């Protein structure tokens, strides 16, 4: 079984038949810069696999399932904007965040989550971080 943030048979499947390619974030002990670099490498490898299959890399949504990275994108509206901006620049087209809970590993304030949805989401979707 592949380790976190590695190319896996799912990449080949996504390039041949899929639309989204979903990756989970690395384990929480990882350095945020390493997480981002690993994601960038995955996006590059996915692009190469697409080209090898004769497929346009931008035809595939690059989805990041997060929630256990050392970063806390739900800590504040600005934390979300920063996180979303970094991963968008790295090639993510979609982010999946866990619903905030009172306890770890997905501890976050639901009120902040609501502010993100009302104050930041439209800007982030439009590429304004």
Q: Which two tokens stand for residue 35?
A: 């997480």
- The residue ranges of every structural domain in the chain are 9-125
DSSP per residue over 30-56, as a string?
S-HHHHHHHHHHHHHHHHHHHHHTT--
Q: What's the pLDDT tens digit per position in 7-46? A: 344 455 455 555 555 555 555 557 888 888 888 988 898 8
pLDDT of residue 6: 36
Helices H, strands E: what count in the chain? 5, 3
Pick from 21, 4, 38: nearest CA to 93: 21
Listed in sequence order, the residues at least 6 apart from 16 whose beta carbon sits closer than 8 Å to its beta carbon are 53, 55
Mean pLDDT of 94-100: 89
Share of the chain above pLDDT 70, in %: 74
Q: Which residues pair with 96 in a beta bridge?
A: 65
Listed in sequence order, the residues at least 6 apart from 17 whose beta carbon sits closer than 8 Å to its beta carbon are none
């Amino acid at each position: 079984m592949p380790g976190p943030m590695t190319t896996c048979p799912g990449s080949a499947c996504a390039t041949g038949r899929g639309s989204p390619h979903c990756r989970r974030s690395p384990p929480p002990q990882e350095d945020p810069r390493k997480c981002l670099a690993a994601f960038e490498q995955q996006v590059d490898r996915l692009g190469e696999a697409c080209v090898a299959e004769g497929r346009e890399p931008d035809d595939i949504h690059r989805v990041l399932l997060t929630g256990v990275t050392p970063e806390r994108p739900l800590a504040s509206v600005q934390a979300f904007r920063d996180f979303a901006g970094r991963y968008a620049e790295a090639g993510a087209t979609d982010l999946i965040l866990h619903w905030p809970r009172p306890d770890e590993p997905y501890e976050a304030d639901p009120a902040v989550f609501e502010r993100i949805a009302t104050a930041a989401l439209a800007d982030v979707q439009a590429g304004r971080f």
